[in-house]
Amino acid sequence: MQNNHQPAPLQQFVDSVSSLLAADSDESRFLPKVGEAMRGLVAQDDWLDPAFAQPHPQYYQQYLLYADPEGKFSVVSFVWGPGQQTPIHDHTVWGVIGMLRGAEMAQNYAIAADGTPLPKGEELALNPGAVEFVSPAIGDVHKVRNALEDQVSISIHAYGANIGKVKRHVFPAEGGAAKEFISGYSNVGL
Ligand code: FE2
């Protein structure tokens, strides 16, 4: 599943990201280029396999679309049911988010010395075609939600690791110790 028979736009994105990462290890240079490739991927909403677009009544879903064999990056479809949201979380690796269908709201946070997450800037609306970035270098903590109360929304995420296996953190809104978590995937065992 992960390496064969990809839809053409996804295969093109995977090829572009592979070449970009092979050509330049400086995140500040390759990340905007990965963003451009993502813009191309989400410019058309006609390629995502319906199997990876299925919401769950209770939980937002993360379907692995591609895992680089060397673990350099992964591509995931993030499927929101109506009203679903993430906790405040980090990634620990770079991430590029492209809005494919519906709409998302994203709020960035800074973590205070005592562990309290403090909202940073306004909540951003992501509409189809929009691309956003996260990484420890540019701001890695956010909370994301489906902007729509009555529709499924889907974004495509690329991350600088096999994200389903990465140990990262959830930050309780009231402050206190961050909790470690590993997100896994809705369609693949680890
Ligand atoms: Fe995130």
Percent of the chain past pLDDT 90, that is, above it, reads 92
Res 1 pLDDT > 50: no
Range 75-81 average pLDDT: 98
* Band of pLDDT at residue 76, cut at 50, 70 and 90: very high
Q: For residue 25, report the distance from its CA to the centre of ligand 1, in Å.
A: 22
Residue 13 lies in a domain: yes
Q: For residue 6, report the distance from its CA to the centre of ligand 1, in Å.
A: 24
DSSP state of 135: B
Residue 24 lies in a domain: yes
| Predicted pLDDT of residue 190 | 62
Residue 187 lies in a domain: no
Residue 114 lies in a domain: yes
DSSP state of 44: -
**CATH code for position 108:** 2.60.120.10
* Band of pLDDT at residue 4, cut at 50, 70 and 90: low
Res 18 pLDDT > 60: yes
Q: For residue 140, report the distance from its CA to the centre of ligand 1, in Å.
A: 8
d(CA 51, CA 123): 30
How is residue 156 written in tokens? 């495509």
When divided into structural domains, the chain yields a total of 1
Residue 1 lies in a domain: no
Residue 132 lies in a domain: yes
d(CA 32, CA 152): 28
* 22-51: pLDDT as tens digits: 999 999 999 999 999 999 999 999 999 999
| Predicted pLDDT of residue 101 | 98
* 130-173: pLDDT as tens digits: 999 999 999 999 999 999 999 999 999 999 999 999 999 999 99
Q: For residue 8, report the distance from its CA to the centre of ligand 1, in Å.
A: 26
**Cβ contact 106:132 at 8 Å:** yes
Q: For residue 70, report the distance from its CA to the centre of ligand 1, in Å.
A: 22
Instruction: Give SS3 for 157.
Output: strand
- Give bridge partners of residue 75 from the DSSP assignment: 66, 158
End-to-end CA distance of the chain: 14
**Cβ contact 128:104 at 8 Å:** no
Q: For residue 56, report the distance from its CA to the centre of ligand 1, in Å.
A: 18
| Predicted pLDDT of residue 175 | 87
CA distances in angstroms from 131 to 58, 138, 140, 165, 177, listed in the order given: 26, 15, 15, 24, 31
* Band of pLDDT at residue 5, cut at 50, 70 and 90: confident
Domain that holds residue 170: 8-45+52-182
**pTM as predicted:** 0.95
Residue 139 lies in a domain: yes
For 176: left if phi > 0, alpha if psi spans -120 to 50, otherwise beta; the answer is left
Residue 86 lies in a domain: yes
Query: Nearest to residue 34, comparing CAs of 101, 76, 94?
Result: 94
* 89-100: pLDDT as tens digits: 999 999 999 999
Q: For residue 91, report the distance from its CA to the centre of ligand 1, in Å.
A: 6
Q: For residue 46, report the distance from its CA to the centre of ligand 1, in Å.
A: 24
Q: For residue 187, report the distance from its CA to the centre of ligand 1, in Å.
A: 18
d(CA 70, CA 24): 16
Res 117 pLDDT > 60: yes
Res 124 pLDDT > 80: yes
Q: For residue 134, report the distance from its CA to the centre of ligand 1, in Å.
A: 8
Average pLDDT for the chain: 95
